[in-house]
């Protein structure tokens, strides 16, 4: 299956998105399509052997919309300019319509409010009905011209049998204008009483208020995608490339892999690469959210858009264009913003039938009132009010806007959420399973204790152990060698070396016979360990790995090595437990060591001696208990378990964002981002529910009031102008509520 993103213009409400999904979804070869009203993009998955992108775009255009293939950065720049132009155009149209609607409202409503005593020129007084009506036509025409798109788009949608919000506005205001024109005709034939049937100001105010609502909506929608715009704006436009010892400034698009790039202090890194010369510290907060600069020397990686703080460096380009870590992050965030959460399904279903149902309700209600004896003007007011107050926009914007802001906010914190479904499922999690090595712990064992016996010097013990282990690739051996380097102890040459699988090693160093390994190795070689066994047991109970060292058949001491816990692990686990979540740890370590680490971390459930390939089965067993499970691992050897879990959370450096098996990628190796991700999910889903409640509630309450429900019980009849104001307010309020998520901050108590 091929996956493509298509930019769609011309959509005005959820009914438009639902129509495109329905029409394209029926095409042969199209597996699925998801249209996002807020981003104006469609994510399409299709079989290239049965259809192609051109056919899909053609189908969208036949439905009444414009479709173009989405090419990341170029289109994003164009998209930004287009959005700014759209906002300017809408504001201009609103200002023009407001300029004409104020006098229109003044002349139309002034005579109806005698106590205001508004002065009206005699020539335009209602006592001269023809002049009065022609003046209203003259003021209404510019307003209709300013809002002409409601008519062209609305009636075009009806012709394509996919009526939308514009169709409702077009039909409602057209009814008011046509009835008013009929009244003008009656006036021209001498019927002065027909002046009571002029509804030009209703149409004018409706169009003006909806243009205001659309302008505010466009501004708010622009703000929901600020996170992606910020990411896009981080990459520098040029790079300084070194060729034949000379510096050349070139466009970022001209940089190729293996080019040597020069960056001065304060400059931005243009592409991903590896330092070849120089030493500096680099601010990688744009990538990881971590504000402390990272020291870089030859051989260290650097990433596009990070800031070189204080040194001059040269580096070799390894990834350019769309392959850089930043580009991958942008792609992930964009894909996430384009997806739908399952919670949106009900809104999608309703949106597909919304406009036709509203039209039927409007016709039925107005006919009902007319048949019951009310006047044609009364029935027309009901018809217009129902059409104008109904708002499919609020339904269509409720979910995508919250997801856009939520995923964008996550990216700011270094939390990449790969879609609406992942965002929604995360808030249902009740059990979190942590991989131990590299997740709860640093993943880099260090020497924690050195215990000597038989008058052996501490430095001598480290020297002999490090010399013996120099030839081993085991992580524990590496820890001992690093300890010797740290202490400045010389490593001796090994005369002979033999690894004893499952036990340890045997070596000859300067004529000394050395054994280094576990207690079983010592027992097999008849070396007495009694004087150190108690201390060895204490070390093991603390989650450390004690290694006995014997020289010339005599016990010389113990070196204990441990993979130490990350500073943030204890606090993160404490917070997760305070949130009511069950926390478990999974590891290949023996039960004793695993339980010691778990005890330190405050974890109650331990899954020990689990091979990497069996981790997914352990996750499956927990799911069989009816739990919704999140698996937190390093995204490499934990891939099967991450895929099996309801939510896979990959914790890493932020550069390996291609961790396909994870639903959430934490770009910092900080477990505090796990509760932060869950809190963000909770806040976003709560926001979506508020939006949907408001959108559904608004229509459920607004439409019956517009149909005259209050009037039946002696209350007022809803004026179409107030209906228009309420409709505009509904979309803006949904967007404003979604934008509240921009203020999200993780709460860790204290």
Show which residues are catalytic: 435
The H or E element that residue 36 is part of is strand 30-36
CA dihedral of 538, 541, 545, 550, whole degrees rounded to 10: 30
The H or E element that residue 567 is part of is helix 567-578
Query: Cα–Cα distance between 504 and 525 in angstroms, integer?
Result: 12
Query: Cα–Cα distance between 518 and 501 in angstroms, integer?
Result: 11
Query: Cα–Cα distance between 476 and 454 in angstroms, integer?
Result: 24
Collapsing DSSP states into helix, strand and coil, what is residue 509?
strand
Strand partners, 33: 44
Concatenated DSSP letters for 596-660? HHHHHHT--EEE-S--GGGHHHHHHHHHHTT--EEEEE-SSTTHHHHHHSSEEEEES-SS-TT-T
Collapsing DSSP states into helix, strand and coil, what is residue 560?
strand
- Residue 569's CB: how many other CB atoms inside 10 A? 24
Q: How many angstroms from the chain centroid is the CA of residue 697?
A: 27
Q: Which two tokens stand for residue 738?
A: 């979604």
Sign of CA dihedral 630, 632, 634, 640: negative
Q: Which residue in 36, 38, 56 sits closest to 46, CA to CA?
A: 56
Look at strands 431-435 and 629-633 and give their pairing.
Answer: parallel
Q: Which residue in 185, 208, 96, 190 sits closest to 133, CA to CA?
A: 185
Collapsing DSSP states into helix, strand and coil, what is residue 434?
strand
Residues 6 or more apart from 45 whose CB is under 8 A from it? 1, 2, 3, 30, 31, 32, 33
Three-state SS string over 324-337 comes to CHHHHHHHHHHHHH
Strand partners, 509: 512
């Amino acid at each position: 299956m091929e996956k493509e993103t298509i930019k769609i213009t011309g959509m005005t409400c959820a009914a438009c998105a639902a129509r495109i999904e329905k029409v394209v979804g029926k095409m042969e070869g199209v597996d699925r399509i998801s249209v996002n009203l807020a981003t104006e993009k469609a994510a399409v998955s299709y079989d290239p052997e049965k259809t192609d992108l051109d056919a899909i775009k053609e189908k969208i255009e036949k439905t009444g919309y414009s479709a173009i293939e989405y090419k990341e950065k170029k289109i994003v720049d164009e998209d930004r300019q287009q959005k700014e132009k759209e906002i300017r155009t809408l504001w201009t149209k609103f200002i023009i319509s407001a300029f004409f609607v104020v006098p229109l409202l003044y002349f139309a409503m002034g005579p109806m409010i005698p106590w205001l005593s508004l002065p009206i020129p005699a020539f335009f007084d209602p006592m001269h009905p023809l002049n009065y009506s022609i003046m209203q036509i003259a003021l209404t025409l510019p307003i209709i011209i300013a809002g002409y798109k409601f008519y062209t788009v609305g009636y075009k949608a009806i012709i394509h049998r996919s009526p939308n919000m514009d169709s409702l506005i077009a039909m409602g205001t057209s009814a008011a204008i046509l009835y008013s024109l009929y009244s003008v005709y009656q006036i021209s034939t001498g019927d002065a009483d027909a002046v009571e049937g002029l509804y030009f100001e209703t149409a004018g105010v409706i169009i003006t208020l909806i243009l205001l609502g659309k302008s505010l909506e466009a501004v708010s929608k622009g703000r929901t995608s600020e996170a992606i715009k910020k990411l896009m704006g981080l990459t520098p436009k040029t790079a300084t490339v070194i060729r034949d010892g000379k510096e050349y400034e070139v466009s970022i698009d001209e940089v190729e892999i293996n080019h040597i790039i020069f960056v001065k202090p304060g400059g931005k890194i243009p592409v991903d690469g590896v330092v070849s010369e120089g030493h500096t510290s680099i601010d990688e907060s744009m990538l990881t959210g971590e504000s402390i600069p990272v020291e870089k020397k030859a051989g260290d990686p650097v990433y596009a858009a990070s800031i070189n703080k204080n040194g001059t460096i040269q580096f070799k380009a390894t990834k350019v264009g769309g392959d850089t870590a930043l580009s991958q992050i942008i792609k992930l965030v964009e894909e996430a913003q384009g997806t739908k959460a399952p919670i949106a399904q009900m809104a999608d279903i309703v949106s597909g039938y919304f406009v036709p149902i509203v039209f039927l309700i409007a016709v039925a209600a107005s006919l009902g009132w007319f048949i019951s004896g009310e006047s044609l003007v009364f029935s027309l007011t009901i018809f217009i009010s129902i059409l104008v107050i109904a708002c499919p926009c609020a339904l269509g914007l409720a979910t995508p806007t919250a997801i856009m802001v939520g995923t964008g906010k996550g990216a700011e914190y270094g939390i990449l959420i790969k879609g609406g479904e992942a965002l929604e499922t995360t808030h249902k999690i009740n059990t979190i399973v942590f991989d131990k090595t590299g997740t709860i712990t640093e993943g880099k064992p260090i020497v924690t204790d050195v215990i000597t016996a038989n008058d052996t010097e501490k430095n001598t013990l480290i020297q002999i152990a490090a010399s013996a282990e120099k030839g081993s690739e085991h992580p524990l051996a590496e820890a001992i060698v690093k300890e010797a380097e740290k202490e400045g102890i010389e490593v001796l040459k090994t005369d002979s070396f033999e690894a004893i699988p499952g036990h340890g090693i045997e070596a000859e160093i300067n004529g000394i016979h050395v054994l280094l390994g576990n207690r079983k190795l010592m027992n097999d070689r008849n070396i007495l360990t009694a004087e150190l066994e108690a201390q060895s047991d204490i070390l093991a109970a603390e989650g450390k790995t004690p290694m006995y060292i014997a020289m010339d058949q005599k016990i010389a001491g113990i070196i204990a090595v441990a993979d130490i816990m990350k500073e943030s692990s204890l606090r993160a686990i404490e917070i997760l437990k305070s949130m009511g979540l069950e926390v478990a740890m999974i590891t290949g370590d023996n039960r004793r060591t695993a339980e010691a680490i778990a005890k330190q971390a405050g974890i109650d459930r331990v899954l020990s001696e689990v091979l990497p390939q069996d981790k997914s089965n352990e996750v499956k067993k927990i799911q069989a208990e009816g739990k919704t499970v999140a698996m937190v691992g390093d995204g490499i050897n934990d891939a099967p378990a991450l895929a099996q879990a309801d939510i896979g959370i990959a914790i890493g450096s932020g550069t390996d964002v291609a961790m396909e098996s994870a639903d959430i990628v934490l770009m910092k190796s900080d477990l505090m981002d796990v509760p932060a991700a869950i809190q963000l999910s909770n806040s976003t889903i709560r926001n979506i529910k508020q939006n949907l409640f408001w959108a559904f509630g608004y229509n459920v309450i607004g439409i019956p009031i517009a149909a005259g429900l209050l009037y039946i019980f002696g209350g007022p009849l809803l004026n179409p102008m107030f209906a228009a104001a309420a409709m505009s307010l509904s979309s803006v309020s949904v967007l404003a509520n979604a934008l509240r998520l921009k203020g999200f901050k993780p709460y860790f108590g204290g």
